[in-house]
Structure 1
Amino acid sequence: MACFQRESPALKEILLRLYRAEKPMELDHHLYEFGSVEYHVQASASIPDNTYLSIATPLLYQDVVLSSGLPCYTLEMVKGISPDVIEIIEPPKEGYKLTLRLKYSRIPRNKGGVKMIASISSVQGVILSSQLKDMLMNVNSLEVSQGMYRPVKLIYHPREPFFVIKQPEKITAVFPMRFKEDTDVIIATAFFQELMDIGSSKAFVKAPHCIWSPIPPAELRGEPIEDLSTNGGFVSFDITGRHVEGKRLDKTVWNLLNFYAFVKYHVKSTRGFIQRRMRTRLESLVEVLYNAGIKDEHHIKKKNRGPKGVRKLLNFSKSKLLKKRYNFINKIKRIRSRIKIHWFSRFRKRWLNFSRFSSLTRYEKLN
């Protein structure tokens, strides 16, 4: 799940390391995000005020070809992050769309300086959001001849493209939804249907109109088949002029950029909730069955109880039973043994012994 953040955590950490260093330090570091965004940070110990930040990022609208790298509207928004600290280098370094010079000496040494570093680390978000803002505000530039409007494919993540379509008095954003597991498709489909029902209620009249369809909308006819092959259908939002007025423009842009992440987060949370409920339910059922088994055993014991004498015998401990059995066996052995008479052994030795004799007759062995 690629949640699009305004600030880059990795870039912020490196810039803060340079900001908090007691002595100027040498740094030459490359960062990669989303597999298509690259940052290159260079700092020199000899010239601490010359810290360069280069950014390589794909454009949202791939058909736009600009020699300067980024649109003027985007450059103005980047410059507006911190005009005293940021200086745009023209032309940018080879292989990058934008190169900035950061003047650390002008960053205050307090909490305001940390906030300024955080704002600078959000330059990638500013670039992407500014391109989408420019499209939403200047929709006439997307028109083609004969009054027809073609879809514009926007890519901020390689696996999560979406389309923006200019229509009379509105702009339609279409999101092809793809999921890896069938269970995720079921959860997401239920969520989209509920989103449609809630969006059509009176409480959310001012919200963008939401439509979900298992088949591509008519506006996407003619697009490549790989862009229209989905298992979760297509979600469309109708954005009117009311949704891009003033501060609403920034909120609308970020909601569109994070719609994929929001849906996947909802699916993941719902799946975890269902699994926890199933596990709890299973444990309760096992407990009921276990208690029922104990009651059945207790009932059988009561039913098979015999007379009091038998119950008393069963109440004896195992050691007592073994001891009684041993004594009983010894008594039987004594009864079956021969009767002993005192002095009889001496009498037998004296009077009952036969005298030994030898035969006078000898025999010879015949050959």
Structure 2
Amino acid sequence: MACMDRVSPALKQILLKLYLADKSIEIDHHLYEFGSIEYHIQSQASNPLLAYLSISIPPLCHGILPNNLSPYTIEMVKGICPNVVEIEEPARDGFQLTLKLNLYQIPRNKDYVKVIGDISSVQSVILSSQLKEILWNVNSDDASPGMYKPIKLVYHPREPFFVIRQPQRIIAVFPIRFREKSDIVIATTFFQELMDVGNSDKWTKTPPCTWSAIPPPELRGEAFEDLSTNGGFFSFDISSRHVEGKRLDKTVWNLLNFNTYVRNHVKSTKGFIHRRMRKRMENLVQVLHGTNSEENEQAKQVKQRQGFRYTTKLVRSSKHTMKQRWRTLGRKIKRFHFRLKIHGFTRFRQRWLRFPKFSSTKYTKLE
């Protein structure tokens, strides 16, 4: 997703590092950003405050804009920081523009951050200048029939949009594409609300906007792959007063970043929904946890009561059981005192174990 800020954050970070370095450093770095934009930054350790920035930006519209930058775009780039930025001729191989950055010309105060930020916004200056050249002659009544044909602008390969230049107005049409069905639902709702707000009496100065699930009549005859969308087509009707003076720069930048704005809104909405769902889930968990705590406390009390009753019952039953056991043990011990009885032993003793009978004759003691 593109950054809606005009300043390139990666380029700004490298230039600040080069400017604020305590010792001499050498940089030879390539950067790639949204929209097939390429940067090449070079600096030597012998003179680190003298850097070279090469830029390669494909034209927004092939066939209408030249591959090389126009004189108007060159003049816009020169106006960024005249004391710091110089255009090298010719540009480095493979790049459309090479800038010589005299970083030692930047004052050592709080303004250096703003100056480096302005230098880092060179890509937004070039893109805005290209679109301004297309929208420049809005009021031209001598437009040929070919000028009414839709102009395909490609800021990103997957997010092209169309500009139809007509007498006294310009129509900008954005085919919207998403990968997830949930994004389509959120975006469709957002488009309907944007139409209601944008076409109200309070916002009469803004360009009227419309949304349709089918391609508008102005795009008839365009390639099928450009018209195959799942999020519909959103259109702006831009009149001459929207491109006068300072409004032109703001209108151009809003058109370049409309797709990014929509995707950022969808992403933020999904994040908000997820946060609300998590918050609600946490509240439900707390309620359930409180209910479970109360139930657990009640169950604990019931168990304590039942446990007390069971203990009392167990003590009583244990006393009775011990008495029974002691009685049984006492009976077993008493059995050991009784004579052992063997069945049939009396008869066996009478028949076979007879002892001899001795007479009662008295014996005389021998002397």
Asked if 1:316 is matched to 2:282, the reply is: no
Whether the 8 Å contact between 1:133 and 1:249 is mirrored in structure 2 is: yes
Q: Which residue of 1 aligns with 2:106?
A: 107
For 1:176, the aligned partner's letter is P
- 1:66 aligns to what SS in structure 2? coil
Distance 1:284 1:109 in 2: 53
Q: Check the 8 A contact 1:40/1:55 in 2, yes or no.
A: yes
Q: Distance in 2 between matches of 1:49 and 1:282?
A: 55
- 1:308 corresponding residue in structure 2: none
Aligned ranges 1:1-367 → 2 under 5 Å: 1-34=1-34, 36-48=36-48, 50-64=50-64, 66=66, 69-139=68-138, 145-146=144-145, 149-281=148-280, 314=306, 316=308, 319-339=311-331
Q: CA RMSD in A?
A: 3.6
Q: In the aligned structure 2, how far is the partner of 1:142 from the partner of 1:169?
A: 8
Deviation for aligned residue 1:78: 0.9
Residues 331 and 141 (structure 1), Cα distance of their counterparts in 2 relative to 1, 3 Å cut = farther
Tell me the CA shift for residue 53 of structure 1: 0.3
Q: What secondary structure is seen at the aligned counterpart in 1 of 2:148?
A: coil
Q: Counterpart in 2 of 1:302?
A: none
After superposition, the Cα gap between the structure-2 partners of 1:13 and 1:122, relative to the gap in structure 1 and judged at 3 Å, is same
C-alpha offsets along residues 121-144 of structure 1, whole Å, 9 cap, x if unaligned?
111111111211222223479986
Q: Distance in 2 between matches of 1:319 and 1:84?
A: 96
Equivalent residue letter for 1:326: S
Residues 14-34 of structure 1, C-alpha deviations (whole Å, 9 max, x = no match): 111111123332211111112
3-state DSSP class of the match of 2:58?
coil
Q: How many residues align?
A: 342
Give, in angstroms, the shift of residue 246 of structure 1: 2.0
Q: Deviations over 1:34-69 (max 9, x none)?
A: 2611110111123445311001111112224537x2
Opposite residue 54 of structure 2, the aligned amino acid is S
Q: Deviation of residue 318 (structure 1)?
A: 5.2
Shift of 1:216: 0.8
| 1:365 paired residue number | none
Query: Are the equivalent residues in 2 in contact too, given 1:129–1:253 (CA < 8 A)?
Result: yes
Give the Å deviation of 1:228.
Answer: 0.6
Given that residues 172 and 239 in structure 1 are in contact (C-alpha distance below 8 angstroms), is that contact kept between their aligned partners in structure 2?
A: yes
CA shift, 1:8, in A, is 1.0
Three-state SS of the structure 2 residue aligned to 1:157 is coil
Counterparts of 2:147 and 2:74, CA distance in 1? 31
**1:195-234 deviations in Å (ceiling 9; x for gaps):** 1111221111111100101111111111111111100000
| Higher deviation after alignment, 314-323 or 10-19 | 314-323
CA contact (8 A) 1:143 1:166 kept: no
SS at match of 2:190: helix
Q: Does the aligned pair in 2 maintain the 1:142–1:166 contact within 8 Å?
A: no
Tell me if the contact between 1:4 and 1:257 (Cα under 8 Å) persists in the aligned partners: no
Percent identity of the aligned residues? 58
- Is the 1:54–1:92 Cα contact (8 Å) retained in structure 2? yes
Deviation at 1:92, TM superposition (A): 0.8
Quick one: distance in 2 between partners of 1:321 and 1:89?
Answer: 103
1:21 aligned partner, one-letter code: A
CA, structure 1 residues 315+182, in 2 after alignment: closer, same or farther (shift >3 Å)? same
d(CA) in 1 for partners of 2:139, 2:305: 100
Distance 1:270 1:334, change over 3 A: same
Confirm or deny: 8 A CA contact 1:132 1:253 kept in the other structure: yes
Query: 2: CA distance between counterparts of 1:117 and 1:242?
Result: 33
TM-score between the two structures when normalised by the length of structure 1:
0.81
CA contact (8 A) 1:142 1:149 kept: no
The answer to which of 204-213 and 154-163 deviates more is 154-163
